[in-house]
Amino acid sequence: MLKHKTNLLLLAMGSFCMLFLNACKDDDAKDTTISAVANMVATNSSGLTGTVTFTENSEGMVSMVATIGGISEGDHAIHIHEVGDCSAADGTSAGGHWNPTGEDHGVWGIPPFHRGDIGNIVIDANGNGTVSQMTDLWCIGCSDDTKNIVGKALIIHEGPDDFSSQPSGAAGPRLGCGAIERQ
C-alpha cells in the first residue's frame, strides 16, 4: 500500500516536471530570437528613407524585409556591401559588395554570386517598395565570417542590377546606406 502511494507521487511529480520543462522551452525560444536592423540614410541627397530588418530563427534561417521610400519608380539594385560605414555623402565608405566567398558578381542563389547580391527592389509610382528574402547563407552575429551580416552595410542604388557586369552589376550611384546592427 505504501509502495502504491509512492508511485502515484512520482507520477504526479513527473507530470509537473514536464509542464515546467515546456514552460522553460518557451522562454528559451523568446531569448534566442536574433535580429538586426539597417536604418537607412539618404546618400547623394536622394531623399531615400527606410528600414531593413533581419531575423534569424532557431533553424538558422535569416529573413530580411526591406521597406524603402522616397526614390524614383522602377528597379533599384539592393546589395550588402562590405563595410558598415555610411559616413560618406555618396555612400562609398561602405566599400564594394560583401563577397566573403571570393566569387564573381551574379544572381542570388545561382553560383557564382556575392553573398551580398540581393538583387533589385521594385519601387512604385509613389516612391515606395518592399522586398524580402530568406536564406541560411547568412547569420546574425555568428562566428562564421562567410555568413555574418552584422557590421556590413545595406545599399540601394539609383539604377538596376544587370546581374552580369563586374564587379557590381553596373547599378550606378548609391541612393541610401544603412549599417547592419545587431538588435
> Contact residues for Zn ion (CB under 5 A)?
97, 105, 114, 117
Residue matched to cell numbers 545561382: 110
Who contacts 179 (Cβ-Cβ below 8 Å, separation ≥6)? 38, 84, 85, 86, 151, 152, 153
Partner whose binding site includes residue 152, from Cu ion, Zn ion, none (CB under 5 to 8 Å by kind) = none
CB of 19 to Cu ion, least distance (A): 51
Q: Shortest Cβ distance from residue 31 to Cu ion (Å)?
A: 34
105 binds, among Zn ion, Cu ion, none (CB under 5 to 8 A by kind): Zn ion
Alpha-carbon gap, residue 141 to 148, rounded angstroms: 6
Answer yes or no whether residue 155 interacts with Cu ion by CB under 5 A: yes
Site for Cu ion in 106-125 (CB under 5 A): none
182 contact partners, CB below 8 Å, separation of at least 6: 34, 35, 36, 140, 141, 150
79 binds Cu ion (CB under 5 A): yes
Q: For the CB of residue 26, give the shortest distance to Zn ion in the complex, in Å.
A: 40
C-alpha 109/C-alpha 132 separation (Å) is 14
Q: Which does 155 bind (CB under 5 to 8 A by kind): Zn ion, Cu ion, none?
A: Cu ion
Least distance (Å) between residue 156 CB and Cu ion: 8
- CA of 52: how far to CAs of 20, 28, 35, 63, in Å? 37, 26, 11, 10
Summarize as ranges the residues that interact with Cu ion (CB under 5 A).
79, 155
